[in-house]
Amino acid sequence: MSLLHEFLAIVEDWRAAFPQQRTFQRGVRQALGSLVCLGRRCLTRIIWTNGGQHRSWSAEYFLHSRCRWQPQSAAWRCRPAFIWP
């Protein structure tokens, strides 16, 4: 098992918190980018870490300003994975 495989298994439960598949993928991409990003973890740096510096960033920012997703729901869905048995 790789760390990436385990991370993706944990965040798979987030799918219900997002209204569309593409916003789910964007949220997972940003979450992974925040884990591997060096230095300050602002959205701009996370986009660069994910290799998105040459495409439009508006969709990445819209996830936080316009998308109707439930961040609390996503956090509670992955919480059992972080509790030791």
Residue 42, CB half-sphere, CA atoms under 13 Å: how many? Answer: 3
Helix (H, G, I), strand (E, B) or coil at 19: coil
Helix (H, G, I), strand (E, B) or coil at 40: coil
Q: Is the dihedral of CA 13, 84, 35, 3 positive or negative?
A: negative
Domain boundaries, the chain: 3-82
pLDDT by 10-residue block (mean), the chain, 85 residues: 85 83 88 84 81 81 70 58 52
For residue range 63-78, list pLDDT tens digits in order: 777 666 666 666 555 5
